[in-house]
């Protein structure tokens, strides 16, 4: 059995508010998957908003374990840093793959930035 830890009231309120706020924000991000139309619109809602929800839940975890353990809980920070680094990178790769597939299918999407535009001289029949 583990000894029961009692947190001060201010800490309980703060942890509950941060965890609840993070859960609500993550839920709103997942609602974007349902409400938005195209893939390009849908990819932003969970990636950006879920990262913010993760940070709020991470702060709740960090405060809870730091106050209850009487020491700074760094392991919670590592989880949030990992998610904050990997989610944007994954989003970029998924968006690039979706743009590539949309271009191959002939859909109306922005042209690639690496396209070389050649200005060929006009042919003059009397030259």
Question: pLDDT per residue over 13-60, tens digit each?
Answer: 999 999 999 999 988 888 877 888 878 778 877 777 878 888 899 999
Does 110 score more than 50 pLDDT? yes
User: Mean pLDDT throughout 86-105?
Assistant: 87
Dihedral sign from CA coordinates of 9, 11, 14, 20: negative
User: Could you tell me if 7 and 64 are in contact, meaning their C-beta atoms sit under 8 angstroms apart?
Assistant: yes
pTM of the model: 0.69
What is the structure's pLDDT at 121? 60
Please state which of the ranges 58-67, 73-82, 87-96 shows the lowest mean pLDDT.
73-82
Spell 87-116 as b/e; 16+ CB within 10 A means b. beeebeeeeeeebeebeeeeeeeeeeeeee
Evaluate if residue 3 carries a pLDDT over 60.
Answer: no
Q: Where are the domains of the chain?
A: 9-104
């Amino acid at each position: 059995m583990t000894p029961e830890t009692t947190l001060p009231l201010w800490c309980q309120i703060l942890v509950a508010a941060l965890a609840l706020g993070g859960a609500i924000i993550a839920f709103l991000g997942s609602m974007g998957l349902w409400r938005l139309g195209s893939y390009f619109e849908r990819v932003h809602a969970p990636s950006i908003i879920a990262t913010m929800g993760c940070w709020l839940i991470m702060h709740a975890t960090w405060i809870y374990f730091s106050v209850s353990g009487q020491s700074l809980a760094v392991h919670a920070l590592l989880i949030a840093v990992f998610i904050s680094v990997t989610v944007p990178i994954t989003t970029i790769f998924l968006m690039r793959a979706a743009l590539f597939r949309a271009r191959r299918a002939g859909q109306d999407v922005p042209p690639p930035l690496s396209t070389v535009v050649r200005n060929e001289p006009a042919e003059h029949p009397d030259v």
